[in-house]
Amino acid sequence: MKKQECLFCKFKDNLNHEHIVQDELVFAILDQNPVSPGHALVIPNRHVQSLFDLTQDEILAVHNMLKKIKVTTIEPRFKPAAYNLGLNDGRAAGRTIDHCHFHLIPRYEGDVDNPRGGIRHIIPGKGNY
């Protein structure tokens, strides 16, 4: 996918889209198709597909942005009980937009019958151990 066609590159430049916060290396937005209330994305400004293509500075910026939006935006506004963090790094992993992005998914008491196993449930039968 070319940078000009990238949905996240367009979001970065679209003042009408709800940005949570942006710095020189990454930005955060609320997911347009949230898994739960407060589901946010942290996205590198630079058009790059994989976590493994990020620089050390970008990785640190992602980490800092995840912490920042958790404390300043998600907790006060949505009051979750816990979080899942996710990255679909490649099409076989479920990535649909070819621009590296990290999901911060708030979790709430009772949102599923049994949360044990968490992200292990992406492959049926692997979450129950």
Q: Is the pTM of this model over 0.85?
A: yes
Residue 15, pLDDT > 50, answer: no
Q: What residues does each domain of the chain span?
A: 3-109
- Which tokens belong to 113? 């019958």
- The torsion angles phi and psi of 22, rounded to 5 degrees, stand at -140, 145
Cα dihedral sign, 14-19-22-26: negative
Residue 44, Cβ neighbours under 10 Å: how many? 24
Positions marked active-site: 101
pLDDT confidence of residue 95: 95
- Which tokens belong to 74? 């998600």
Average pLDDT over residues 56-85: 97
What is the fold of 3-109? HIT family, subunit A (3.30.428)
Q: Which of 22-31, 90-99, 119-128 has the lowest mean pLDDT?
A: 119-128
pLDDT confidence of residue 1: 52
Of all residues in the chain, what percent carry a pLDDT higher than 70?
91
Query: Predicted confidence band at 51 (pLDDT cuts at 50, 70, 90)?
Result: very high
